[in-house]
Amino acid sequence: MCGIVGYVGCRNATPVLLNGLRKLEYRGYDSAGIAVLSKSSDEIVVKKSKGALKFLVEKITKEVVRTSESMSDADADRRFSELVGKTGDFIDGCVGIGHTRWATHGEPSDLNAHPHTNVSGSIAVVHNGIVENYGKLKSWLQSNGIVFKSQTDTEVIAHLLNYFYERTNNIFNAVLETLHRLEGSYAIGVICRDFPDRLIAARKESPLVVGVGNGENFIASDVPAVLEHTREVHFLEQNEIAVLYSDHVDLFNSEGEKIVRGTTHIDWNMDAAEKGGYAHFMLKEIHEQPSALENTIRAHMLFGDDGKPSGLTFSKEIEPERFRELVSGARRIVITACGTAYHAGVVGKYAFEKFARVPTVVDVASEFRYRNPILGEGDVFIVISQSGETADTLAALRLAKSKGAKVIAITNSVGSSVSRESDFVIYTLAGPEIAVASTKAYTTQLACLYMLSMMFGRERGIIGDGEYARLLGEFAAVPEKVQQILDEKAAVQKFASSQFNKSKIFYIGRQFDSASSLESALKLKEVSYMHCEAFAAGELKHGPIALVDPDTLVIAIATEPPLFEKLASNIEEVKSRRAVTMCITQDDSGAFEKCCDEIIKIPATESAFESILSVVPAQLFAYYCSVLRGNDPDKPRNLAKSVTVE
């Protein structure tokens, strides 16, 4: 949902800003812009362009990135970096802000691109979020004679800053006054010609990180944008303001009172945020799943002297006493999330009911938050969010807390709003997920849910000693089984090359597999733009089968042996309507051979855990279809990685 960056230091700001924006393009990519306080003219120079970041770089350097049609992507990448390196020759200055946009108010265009300025161009602002009362503010500013250049909500911030600056002659006070009048969400970066030594940043709801360097400081919407410069950061808290100078950073609360807080050290290295030889982040992240799962599982698994798994612990997240209280008091588990994280929650529902025998409901956060939900004593509330900043998920979390529920968060983002506001936090150790389509975050979310549900089952006496040891042994082996699937990816690639032009694709499955179907279908929609739906297999005959014709591909996920026969009958039903059929299964009894045109084999494990395995071929299928259709899987149209607006 838009990415913002800012720099103050001794280096030329322009390439620093553009390189930072490159790391944030996953947050929005319909236009980009920068504003730099030029040393030579003492004015703020603004450059903006509709479309991907490369168009902005081309505009600044007046050179093209792709010099010939046959240029490879890798060469185009290199040339892009080369041109970014030259941008400092065109705009000098050591203080600046930048933005990559995901349009909310106003179509993607040069004019609507950020930064926005006051009328004289002496103040520039970049913004991520939505100013909900912008209509009222705009009318008021217009009645004061301001003529707006763009259709954005953000432009009101620039004019309000100007209004208060004219009255206070102090840019910090102008920021404070302006923020007090904004409703909605924001992360902003502000520079002012009259204060060339500083950059001011603030946040409410939308995330913002301050990178603390040596003789230089940075702001960014997300950590990867500052990682190449520093690993010391401040995660700005709600309503905080930061004033960055080259040699220090001051933090303030919303009343302008100083706050003293140490920095947080980021453990990831740069490699984690780079493509590392893969054509796309999505492919890299699919391949990182064995290690991401291993890290996530090992963080909670105990091993005996014989090296075998001997137990699970969440004691780092929830003290054993409180965990026991949670478990014994749990009357119901309520899981809430959005998108892929919601799909993880659907798998979680099956896991909690199977392993812990606790009634579990799962709901999308955008519905939950407006339903006046019934929550009470004994409800354990679980929110799942990769980014930890999703607006609907946060609202659901706050609502659950206000009703007295204990909240457990499963998130990938240390320091995120979700992690800060929950009672207990379980981290997925997936590392940074850059591709918009979530892959390794999903499977590590599943890992946390399985472990939590087994712990609940163990504590409630549902899982006995022998069964616990068997389950843990199976679970510990899941990462290497994911690796086996990746080693056989050529079969999925080949299948994708024969199916990527299908007009309709359906995923079907039963129980855990119907949950996996939801995620598999979402993946395909997101990156290939093919029309794909997921159905509980038994539901086909109640309507959806009317859609089936020879141009339909039906992919069955089959990992529940007691239901194989039923599922095979469902596949027969679509096959007899001449659909192409494919099955993802661990079965080697031949149950699906007759009814399926293609079978992708996955390794066998405890059937409940197969959900972590069965989604991997589906992720690969989505990735290959996307590439075969000429899309950029890392930046699917109309989507953004972190949805910080409603």
Point out the residues that are catalytic: 2, 641
Say how many C-beta atoms besides its own lie within 10 A of residue 366's C-beta. Answer: 18
- Residue that is written with structure tokens 């579990």 in the block: 360
Sheet holding 123-131, edge to edge: 116-117, 123-131, 184-192, 199-204, 241-244, 249-252, 258-259
Residue 20 or residue 339: which is nearer to ligand M6R going by CB?
A: 339
Nearer to ligand M6R, 119 or 639 (CB): 639
Taking residue 412's Cβ as centre, other Cβ atoms within 10 Å add up to 27
The region of 96-104, 219-227, 619-627, 636-644 touching ligand M6R under the rule CB under 6 A is: 636-644
- Minimum Å gap between C-beta 399 and ligand M6R is 16
CB burial of residue 522 (10 Å; 0-12, 13-18, 19+): buried
Report which residue type is found at 116: H
CB of 485 to ligand M6R, least distance (A): 19
Nearer CB in complex with ligand M6R: 128/385 = 385
The correct pick among 112, 178, 246, 385 for binding ligand M6R (CB under 6 A) is 385
Strand order in the sheet with 360-364: 360-364, 332-337, 379-385, 406-411, 424-427
Q: Which is nearer to ligand M6R, 227 or 640 (CB)?
A: 640
- Which is closer to ligand M6R, CB of 14 or CB of 366? 366
DSSP string, 203-219: EESS--EEEE-SS-EEE
Choose which of 390, 419, 422, 626 interacts with ligand M6R (CB under 6 A): 390
CB atoms near residue 517 (< 10 Å): 30
**Minimum Å distance from CB 247 to ligand M6R?**
35
The token pair at 316 is 């780092």
Give burial (CB, 10 Å; 0-12/13-18/19+) of 553: buried
- Comparing CA positions, the residue from 285, 544, 560 lying closest to residue 430 is 285
Task: Give the shortest CB-304-to-ligand M6R separation in angstroms.
Answer: 35
Q: Give least dist CB 420 to ligand M6R, A.
A: 15
How near is the Cβ of 26 to ligand M6R at its closest, in Å?
A: 10
Query: What stretches of 169-259 show up as alpha helix (H) in DSSP?
Result: 171-181
387 binds ligand M6R (CB under 6 A): yes
Chain centre distance of CA 69: 33
CA proximity to 29, closest of 389, 326, 435: 435
Token reading at 129: 């979020």
Per CB under 6 A, 118 contacts ligand M6R: no
| 619 near ligand M6R, judged by CB under 6 A | no
- Residue corresponding to tokens 């659907």: 346
Binding status of residue 344 toward ligand M6R by CB under 6 A: no
Calculate the CA dihedral of residues 141, 144, 147, 148 and round it to 10 degrees.
0
Before 207, cis peptide (omega within 30)? no
CB of 437 or CB of 615, closer to ligand M6R: 437
Q: Which stretch binds ligand M6R (CB under 6 A): 24-32, 33-41, 334-342, 483-491?
A: 334-342
Residue corresponding to tokens 């207990």: 424
Q: Give me the least distance between CB of 634 and ligand M6R, in Å please.
A: 12
In the complex, minimum distance from the CB of residue 388 to ligand M6R, in angstroms, rounded to a whole number: 7
The length of the chain in residues reads: 646
Member of 126, 208, 226, 338 binding ligand M6R (CB under 6 A): 338
The residue of the chain with the least Cβ separation from ligand M6R equals: 339
340 binds ligand M6R (CB under 6 A): yes
User: What is the torsion angle, in degrees rounded to the nearest 10, for the CA atoms of residue 394, residue 398, residue 403 and residue 407?
Assistant: 70
| Closer by beta carbon to ligand M6R, 295 or else 416 | 416
Q: How many residues bind ligand M6R (CB under 6 A)?
A: 16
Stretch that binds ligand M6R, among 214-222, 226-234, 383-391, 546-554 (CB under 6 A): 383-391
Binding mask 508-537 for ligand M6R (x = CB under 6 A): ------------------x-----------
* Least CB distance to ligand M6R at residue 624 (A): 16
Task: Of 196, 188, 182, give the one whose Cα is nearest residue 219.
Answer: 188
Binder of ligand M6R out of 339, 373, 479, 617 (CB under 6 A)? 339
Q: Is 25 in the site for ligand M6R (CB under 6 A)?
A: no
Cβ atoms of 189 and 125 closer than 8 Å: yes
How far is the C-alpha of 202 from the C-alpha of 477, rounded, in Å? Answer: 45
Burial class (CB in 10 A: 0-12, 13-18, 19+), 120: exposed
Pick the closer one to ligand M6R by CB: 98 or 339.
339
Nearer to ligand M6R, 440 or 458 (CB): 440
Nearer to ligand M6R, 66 or 401 (CB): 401
Q: How far is the CB of 349 from ligand M6R (least distance, A)?
A: 17
Which residues inside 431-460 make contact with ligand M6R, applying CB under 6 A?
436-438
The CA-atom distances, in angstroms, between 341 and each of 247, 452, 576, 613 are: 40, 16, 35, 17
Residue 366 within binding range of ligand M6R, rule CB under 6 A? no
Which segment (161-169, 338-346, 463-471, 590-598) binds ligand M6R by CB under 6 A? 338-346
Closest CA to 238 of 481, 112, 507, 420: 420
User: Which helix (DSSP H) or strand (DSSP E) does residue 644 occupy?
Assistant: none
Q: Among 298, 620, 290, which residue's Cα sits nearest to residue 480?
A: 290
- Judged by DSSP in three states, 164 sits in helix
Q: Residue 317 interacts with ligand M6R (CB under 6 A)? A: no
Residue closer to ligand M6R by CB (options 44, 437) is 437
* Interaction residues for ligand M6R, span 393-432 (CB under 6 A): 393
CB of 213 to ligand M6R, least distance (A): 27
Nearest alpha carbon to residue 38 among 15, 13, 19:
13
The reply to whether 341 sits near ligand M6R by the rule CB under 6 A is yes
Give the distance from CA 154 to its chain's centroid: 23
Q: Which residues of the shown chain bind ligand M6R in the complex (CB under 6 A)? A: 338-341, 385-387, 390, 393, 436-438, 526, 639, 642-643
